[in-house]
Structure 1
Amino acid sequence: MVRVAEEDTDYQRLLWRSSANEPVKHYKLLRLTFGTACAPYLAVKSLQALAHDEKLKYPIAAKTTETDYYMDDLLSGSETVEEAIDIYNEMNNLMNSGGFQLQKWSNNCEALLQYIGENKRDDNELPFKVNSVIKVLGLTWNRVADTFEYTVNLPEPKQPITKRHILSEIAKLYDPLGLIAPVVVIAKMIMQKLWKTGLDWDEPIDGILQAEWLRYRENLMCIKDLSIP
């Protein structure tokens, strides 16, 4: 729903044809296109501009939009159910005024979940999450216990184990809040040792480093037992 300024659409030109036998067609994308370098900034800026334009009409939602968004995920909270309902209603009204629709609501208050279920805007709105565990920005949130939890899904290690293989698995350790930094830093130290060996990306690693990595990989499963308030 975000239209690009006319003078900037020339930078979103593309050539296309469905087969080599067809003439090439020329297109110009008129709306914000995800995948471009500027898209994350423009997406966030569009929400901020909407909040600024409508802040007198929807003051609670405008403030929430300015402070509680991470990209297109809204993470907010309140002290009371009544305040949460006000946020829910105002946020829907504010977003709808800009052509956006909030979906997949979830929270740890059954009264609010019931209110959302009874007051959803239309039948096309996706159902809100009612299961106890959901993903929030890559973290696992248990809404019943109101805790962060970690999941590790690593397949059986493939042979030979290489630097490329290990780096790929280290990249799956997502910890934006640094809550398991003592765990992640060990993986980074193993990677540092691999660089010092001078091995190529697809060259098998030696026995000592391989054993250290496999031992770390096995112990990594223990973070499933962590529960962080």
Structure 2
Amino acid sequence: MTGDMLDLLKSFRSNKFVLLVDIRKVFLIVRLALEADKNRFCVFVKDGDRLRCFCYSILIFGFTSSPFILGSILKFHAAQYPFDECQLVMENRFYVDNLVVTESDPAKVRKRLQEGGFVVQSCKSNCNSFRSETRKDGALSAHEVGWEVVLGYRYNPISEKLCITPVKCDASASPKRQILSESARVFNPLSLYIPVTIRSRILLGELWKLGMKWDEEVPPEFQNLAEDLSKLSNMHFCRHTHDGNRSEELYLFCDASKEAYGFAVYYV
């Protein structure tokens, strides 16, 4: 029921305007109306010789099932309206309680959520008119200037730049186990930094070929790579790459070596 993160990230790089929204206390809004549902969320406490049962009346944040239930409720609320683009946004652009929109009227999406009892907060957008509107009623993010975290990446609504979350890799990592742990700290699902991060995979592949054990000390080859990985957040990319409503084509060029594949993609 939660939107696919990779699809959301790809959509996030399309179209001119961006809207990022959190729903305030979203799990506390969802109340369990039926007694049978309340019995599914309960805790038992021993009180002397008695065993007391306490049932929750609201959806609990932190349960494995909670994001699924929330997603079902958001889709149910969206289905109460005539089918339109706004309904598609509400059904497919949520990641748990975070809404990521680039192809719809921000004000219309916000109004429809509020009609369902969902109070939006911490609104972030590169649309000046929407920012002015949310600033008046206090829904604009208090730290509106600077970098925001969007699905693992950092985004600046003012400069329209995108980069990874800064990481600090330990250059002294030596055992293969620690090298794998340190190199995995870079969260890069869009592969924007793959020309650098591929080096860690090549290094680990070479260690496997040498038959190195997980906790065996290896030559200090990770030091230079660790420094480069720690500097990746200084490299920024433009968020807006294309307009989603235009008919365009992808041209992919690729080549291979013994160590890795290389590719370049053009969107025209």
Could you say which TM-score interval applies, normalised by the shorter chain? 0.7 to 0.9
Query: 1:116-166 CA deviation, whole Å, 9 max, x = no partner?
Result: 212x2xx6x5744421321111101121221211242316556x7444533
Q: How does 1:163-202 map to 2 (within 5 A)?
A: 163-193=176-206, 197=211, 199-200=213-214
Show the counterpart of 1:144: 158
* 1:32 partner SS: coil
Following superposition, the deviation at residue 72 of structure 1 comes to 1.6
Show the counterpart of 1:214: 223
1:40 aligned partner, one-letter code: P
More helix by share: 1
The structure-2 alpha-carbon separation of the partners of 1:30 and 1:163, relative to structure 1 and needing over 3 Å to count, comes to farther
1:147 aligned partner, one-letter code: K
Gaps of 5+ in 1: none
Residue 85 of structure 2 is aligned to residue 76 of structure 1 = no
Which one scores higher on RCO, CA 8 angstroms, separation ≥ 6?
A: 2
What percent identity do the matched residue pairs reach? 21
Following superposition, the deviation at residue 227 of structure 1 comes to 1.9
**Contact 2:38/2:56 (CA < 8 Å) preserved in 1?**
yes
Residue 44 of structure 2 is aligned to residue 15 of structure 1 = yes
Following superposition, the deviation at residue 16 of structure 1 comes to 3.9
Return the alpha-carbon distance in structure 2 between the equivalents of residues 161 and 64 of structure 1.
Answer: 47
Show the counterpart of 1:48: 75
Q: What is the TM-score of this pair, normalised by structure 2? A: 0.63
> CA RMSD, aligned part only?
3.2
2:224 aligned partner, one-letter code: R
Following superposition, the deviation at residue 71 of structure 1 comes to 2.3
**Contact 2:126/2:158 (CA < 8 Å) preserved in 1?**
yes
Residue 239 of structure 2 is aligned to residue 225 of structure 1 = no
* 1:141 partner SS: strand
2:42 aligned partner, one-letter code: R
Query: Number of residue pairs matched?
Result: 208
Return the alpha-carbon distance in structure 2 between the equivalents of residues 28 and 191 of structure 1.
Answer: 50
Return the alpha-carbon distance in structure 2 between the equivalents of residues 32 and 181 of structure 1.
Answer: 40
Query: 1:77-115 CA deviation, whole Å, 9 max, x = no partner?
Result: 35xxxx74xx32x33332223332111111123333122
Gaps of 5+ in 2: 1-28, 239-268
Return the alpha-carbon distance in structure 2 between the equivalents of residues 227 and 207 of structure 1.
Answer: 33
More strand by share: 2
Q: What is the TM-score of this pair, normalised by structure 1? A: 0.72
**Contact 1:132/1:142 (CA < 8 Å) preserved in 2?**
yes
The structure-2 alpha-carbon separation of the partners of 1:22 and 1:223, relative to structure 1 and needing over 3 Å to count, comes to farther
